[in-house]
């Protein structure tokens, strides 16, 4: 019998929500982290409220709900906490296609690299993922991502800290 992985992350698509909503809800139920964009969250849970949608994700047994809001950042919710980060302020967006996927990949990569699934580390992973996604939008396809380094990501993460500090 297969052993359950340490972490299961799902990322939805509106196509599947339209075609088989029940199966998508089952997938969310099996996920430790349910990741989706704002339109998918509203569609899946039939609500305009992203907070309500995040709570619905948690009711399905996911431990963490992350809802991406494109250029407006994302929200993160657990049973006991809420976290929100703005989008990185870009002057020039070349192609946002794939930014959500690069966010998901960077999030999972960060968590895999650190091996820490604690809330504080997941929050750091979200900021890192947001930085990577912002680089993605600055170029076409993977062009920008091919050129960035860990130092570039760290620099943008530090800029995020300054943006949200008060």
Q: What is the pLDDT of residues 85-110, one digit of tens each?
A: 999 999 999 988 899 999 999 999 99
Band the pLDDT of 156: cuts 50, 70, 90. very high
- For the record, the structure tokens of 79 come out as 């049973």
What pLDDT score does 4 carry? 82
- Residue 155, pLDDT above cutoff 90: yes
Q: Mean per-residue pLDDT for 106-130? A: 97
Helical residues (DSSP H) of 5-98, grouped into ranges: 14-29, 38-45, 50-59
- Residue 22, pLDDT above cutoff 90: yes
What pLDDT score does 126 carry? 98
pTM of the model: 0.93
CA distance 81 to 69: 18
Q: Each residue of 47-79: pLDDT tens digit? A: 999 999 999 999 999 999 999 999 999 999 999
What pLDDT score does 91 carry? 92
What pLDDT score does 141 carry? 84
- Residue 1, pLDDT above cutoff 80: no
Interacting residues of 140 by C-beta distance below 8 A, sequence separation 6+? 94, 95
What domains sit in the chain, N to C, each tagged with a CATH number? 9-164 (3.40.1190.20)
Q: List strands edge to edge, sheet with 33-37.
A: 9-11, 33-37, 64-68, 74-77, 82-85
Strands 64-68 and 82-85: unpaired
CA distance 52 to 17: 18
What pLDDT score does 2 carry? 77
Chain-centre distance for alpha carbon 155? 20
């Amino acid at each position: 019998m297969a052993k359950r992985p340490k972490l299961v992350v799902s990322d939805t698509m509106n196509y599947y929500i339209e075609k088989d909503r029940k199966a998508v809800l089952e997938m969310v139920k099996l996920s430790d982290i349910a990741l989706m964009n704002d339109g998918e969250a509203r569609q899946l849970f039939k609500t305009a409220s992203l907070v309500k949608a995040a709570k619905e994700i948690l009711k399905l047994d996911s431990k963490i709900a992350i809802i991406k809001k494109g250029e407006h950042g994302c929200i993160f919710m657990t049973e006991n906490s809420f976290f929100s980060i703005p989008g990185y302020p870009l002057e020039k967006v070349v192609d946002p296609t794939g930014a959500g996927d690069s966010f998901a990949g960077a999030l999972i990569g960060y968590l895999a690299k650190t091996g820490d699934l604690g809330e504080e580390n997941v929050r750091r992973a979200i900021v890192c993922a947001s930085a990577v996604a912002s680089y993605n939008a600055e170029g076409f396809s993977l062009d920008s991502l091919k050129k960035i380094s860990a130092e570039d990501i760290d620099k943008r993460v530090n800029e995020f800290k300054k943006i949200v500090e008060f």
